[in-house]
Chain A
Amino acid sequence: MDMLIAKNLGVSAALPDGSVPVIQELNFSLPQGKVLGLVGESGAGKSMIGRTIAQLLPPGFSVTAGELMFDGQDLVRMPAETRRELLGREIAFIPQEPLSGLNPVLTIGRQIDEHLARLGIGNARARRDHALGMLNDVHLSHGADLLDKYPHQLSGGMCQRVLIAMAFASRPKLLVADEPTTALDVTIQARIVQLIAEMQERDGTSVVFITHDLRLAAQVCDNILVLYAGRPAEYGPARSVFAQPAHPYTRCLQLSNPAMSGPRRALYALPERMPGLSAIKGIEGCLFAPRCPKVVPECTRALPPFVDVADGQVAACIRPETTATIAAPALSASDAPQAGVPLLEVRGLTKTFRIGGGLFRNRAFTAVKDVSFTLHQNEFIGIVGESGSGKSTVARMLCGLERPTEGEFEIDGREVSDGSTSSRAHLRAHVQMVFQDPQSALNPRRRIASIVTQAMEAAGGTSGKERLERAEALLLEIGLPPDAARRFPTQLSGGQRQRVNIARALCVAPNILIADEIVSGLDVSVQAQLLNLLMQLRRKRGFSMLFISHDLSVVRYLCDRMLVMYRGEVVESGPTDRIFAAPSHPYTRTLLAAVPPDDPSAVWSPQPLETDVVAPADMLQEANV
């Protein structure tokens, strides 16, 4: 029996210049006990579907066509009370941000208790027992202690587990999980996905799994629906959509994601980005046409119809047979240049933070312990590890934002960790950092030109005109139109801001770049653009980079060597290919196993971690206060 059916569903947004389709021609059916994956980049409308199910559309948005049937009832047209009865009871939700799903001022126990009371378990005693049982089901031991804790005292993974426990408390028929793992570390992500699968199997729940990760969707879903600008691009059984994508967009998504195994291949970088709401109206014919590598004039005549390409697989494309021929350009030999002389030598770098005030001043926490490595000219080294592993602290020490407690490092043969003015200047000339969050890294009050040439402003002696010229040259180099120089950061998209972030670091022509998680939070097509840009810049300028990331596939694509950090220590280091082929440390193996494999038919067997790696991150936060 089908639990959730969308029939020609359409949602529109009222904009000042008329109404725009946010979702159009959406058709799918989700049988009981199955998992449907909604895949797409940000702006594809996938969260809007979750909101339509909950009837929590933003103001100005409304369902304009079709129907959405849950268990035989139309969710759109049913009275509000009936819907309220269903939501939270028969239809449960798991949000993207675990912390936003919980009330910060109430204990976990209180929140579970309230939820159970709403479900009609009258007796406080029974509710407590029930709560403990629920927590046990999601493998949270020490349930009794947990009940007295506040959300901020738990790690993100633990909060997400609490939310899963609450979602399944009513044995719902339908679960909507909106990117439930994006904010979490890989090993925890694997754990959460497994957990949802486990609970789903137990209760026979149907699941709508919203994600941007095609590989993950192929692994956990039965069917996949790929969305592009609010319109389905492709729909079909997960395995076949992943193995033989029929729509060019699906194929491009796949090719823009770095592979975890096999020979290294170049990334396919889709140009531009998905059209925003206001741009959709201006596109004629196929919405993907402006970016499609296989576009022909016929494509822009009308919206392409949905054609059956294989058993149960449909694609909205007039030339699905050409999709398989889309290929990423080959990696040239110059993309893996020979490493040159040693540029940066790190020896025994250690950082200890003193935590707490007053009586507890003496408590110390070692964030980084005895890290040593050498970075050669033209070499990209990846540092991987989970949050709290100390990788960002290493970055901050190497660019002089933090003084090492012990150990030293040499840049270009000169010892620079002493913090004197001359070594700071030396450091500045050689090392620049690209920050993680472009939102926070770009001063919203400065124009782009002023941001990217800040180093010249600091050095003094240049006129505004010189700086503007330099800014335009830099912008051109990193792939932005020169007229972006006059804009403010808020007028750029996330990917463009990250380019500006890179341009600023390149302004002094450093030979070492330190990049801290610079592609996390970006869509895969934008990520591919940036990774290719870094490769291209290395070819042209020849610099080295320390690339800090939690995403193993990105590190595999970009880096020649890698370091694996765990709780402040480097547990494994060596050539990237060697580590991926034969990891020697158990933690590295856990990390690698946590990433869904490229081949959806391969068994994905993430190893459960004993406990969440939570302590270091929490203590770090404390240390910052």
Chain B
Amino acid sequence: MMRILPPWLRSARVLGGLTIVVIISLCAVFAPLLAPHDPNEQDLIATFLPPVWAKGGQAAYLLGTDSLGRDVLSRLIYGARVAMMVAVLASFGAMMIGGTLAYIAGYFGGRIDSLIGRAVDVWMSFPPVIMSLILMVGLGVGLRNVILAIILVDWTRFCRVLRSEVLVVARKDYVAAARLVGFSHWRTVTREIVPATLPLLITLVSLEMGIAVIVEAILSFVGMSVSSNTPAWGQMIADARQYIYDSPWNLLFPILAIFFAVFGFNLLGDGLRRTLDVRLTATQRV
């Protein structure tokens, strides 16, 4: 059966981004199957091994080993679990809070809107880095708190961007018409407004995932995220930093992994924005 692909699936950006995100997700889900070694298994005779293609590399350790002789490739694959978990949970959490408030503010307008707008403004007046550090100190370390901190810091981003879009859609006559034929507020929002703003929402989530990956890496770098026996990319960087002269590879691979993930999310987000945003595609067509 031949079906024409929707335009967003024909965009090179979306395809590229999607491929990367799928690869990382597969790594995260099937880490125990994919990883050649246990990520915490130490081999103290084989520390600081370079990757297999460099001089002295061993086929058993494709990307080499770290200071304790742990397999870098396996640690990277397992690290994807933490990264993806934070990316998914944090961005969905931020979307739930920010999105809900944005729909309420944009749809009802007036007092409620200005109240929510004020709250967002006050919230955003704190620099995000400082705010997340304060939150981490207050909440204590741990992966759950990392996710919570990202949600608490970043919901405003959703709220602000989405609200202005909801405002535009809510002013359309078809929304008024839906009310006139007897749609309840709930039905009007879910049937008329949400579908129109869904492209933006998806785009924002995808961009937020990239941000969450970076934030988690930073926090696990400073040791505020997962405990030391759970492999995470930020932690790998922190470990490798001490031995940068002995084994620069150890530093390079987790950095590349983070870069790869963020690049994938951003590419996907950007591609979706370009293909799903009606206004943008309309102007390009002219």
Contact residues of A with B, CB < 8 Å?
357, 399-401, 425, 428, 432-433, 435-437, 440-443, 445, 451, 454-455, 457-459, 504, 507-508
User: What separation, in Å, do the CA atoms of A401 and B172 have in the docked complex?
Assistant: 13
Q: Are A436 and B173 in contact (CB under 8 A)?
A: yes
Q: Are A428 and B173 in contact (CB under 8 A)?
A: no
Other A-B contacts than A433-B176, A445-B196, 12 sampled, CB-CB below 8 A, are: A399-B180, A401-B179, A428-B180, A433-B177, A435-B176, A442-B174, A443-B196, A451-B174, A454-B183, A458-B178, A458-B182, A507-B181
B114 in the interface, Cβ–Cβ < 8 Å?
yes
Q: Are B181 and A458 in contact (CB under 8 A)?
A: yes
Given A357-B114, A443-B192, A445-B195, A454-B181 contact (CB < 8 Å): yes
Residues from chain A with a CB closer than 8 A to the CB of B172 are: 440-441, 443
Point out the residue from A436, A442, A504 that lies within 8 Å of B181, measured CB to CB.
Answer: A504
User: What separation, in Å, do the CA atoms of A437 and B173 have in the docked complex?
Assistant: 8
B10 in the interface, Cβ–Cβ < 8 Å?
no
Given A357-B114, A443-B192, A445-B195, A401-B181 contact (CB < 8 Å): no
Q: Are A458 and B187 in contact (CB under 8 A)?
A: yes
CB distance from B78 to the nearest CB of A (A): 42
User: What separation, in Å, do the CA atoms of A433 and B178 have in the docked complex?
Assistant: 11
User: What separation, in Å, do the CA atoms of A451 and B173 have in the docked complex?
Assistant: 13
Q: Are A508 and B173 in contact (CB under 8 A)?
A: no
Residues from chain B with a CB closer than 8 A to the CB of A442 are: 174
Point out the residue from B174, B179, B182, B183 that lies within 8 Å of A441, measured CB to CB.
Answer: B174
Contact residues of B with A, CB < 8 Å?
114, 172-174, 176-183, 187, 192, 195-196
B195 to chain A: closest residue by CB: A445
The 7 A-B residue pairs with the shortest CB-CB distance, nearest first, are A458-B182, A455-B181, A441-B173, A435-B173, A443-B174, A440-B173, A454-B181
Given A357-B114, A458-B187, A441-B181 contact (CB < 8 Å): no
Residues from chain A with a CB closer than 8 A to the CB of B173 are: 435-437, 440-441
Given A443-B192, A445-B195, A445-B196, A435-B182 contact (CB < 8 Å): no
Residues from chain A with a CB closer than 8 A to the CB of B179 are: 401
Residues from chain B with a CB closer than 8 A to the CB of A425 are: 182
Residues from chain A with a CB closer than 8 A to the CB of B177 are: 433, 435, 441, 454, 504
15 CB-based A-B contacts, threshold 8 Å: A357-B114, A425-B182, A435-B176, A435-B177, A437-B173, A441-B172, A442-B174, A443-B174, A445-B195, A454-B183, A458-B182, A458-B187, A459-B182, A504-B177, A507-B181
* B contacts with A: majority SS: helix
Residues from chain B with a CB closer than 8 A to the CB of A357 are: 114
CB distance from A568 to the nearest CB of B (A): 21
User: What separation, in Å, do the CA atoms of A471 and B176 have in the docked complex?
Assistant: 20
A433 to chain B: closest residue by CB: B180
CB distance from A99 to the nearest CB of B (A): 17
User: What separation, in Å, do the CA atoms of A462 and B173 have in the docked complex?
Assistant: 25
User: What separation, in Å, do the CA atoms of A243 and B114 have in the docked complex?
Assistant: 60
Residues from chain B with a CB closer than 8 A to the CB of A440 are: 172-174
A458 to chain B: closest residue by CB: B182
CB distance from A438 to the nearest CB of B (A): 9
CB distance from B267 to the nearest CB of A (A): 26
User: What separation, in Å, do the CA atoms of A437 and B192 have in the docked complex?
Assistant: 17
A454 to chain B: closest residue by CB: B181
Residues from chain B with a CB closer than 8 A to the CB of A441 are: 172-174, 177
Q: Are B195 and A454 in contact (CB under 8 A)?
A: no
Chain A CB within 10 Å — which of B172, B179, B181, B196 has the most? Answer: B181
CB distance from B193 to the nearest CB of A (A): 10
Residues from chain B with a CB closer than 8 A to the CB of A435 are: 173, 176-177
User: What separation, in Å, do the CA atoms of A399 and B195 have in the docked complex?
Assistant: 26
Chain B CB within 10 Å — which of A400, A425, A435 has the most? Answer: A435
CB distance from A55 to the nearest CB of B (A): 19
Residues from chain A with a CB closer than 8 A to the CB of B195 are: 445
CB distance from B286 to the nearest CB of A (A): 9
User: What separation, in Å, do the CA atoms of A91 and B177 have in the docked complex?
Assistant: 46
CB distance from B4 to the nearest CB of A (A): 15
User: What separation, in Å, do the CA atoms of A428 and B179 have in the docked complex?
Assistant: 9
Residues from chain A with a CB closer than 8 A to the CB of B196 are: 443, 445
B178 to chain A: closest residue by CB: A454
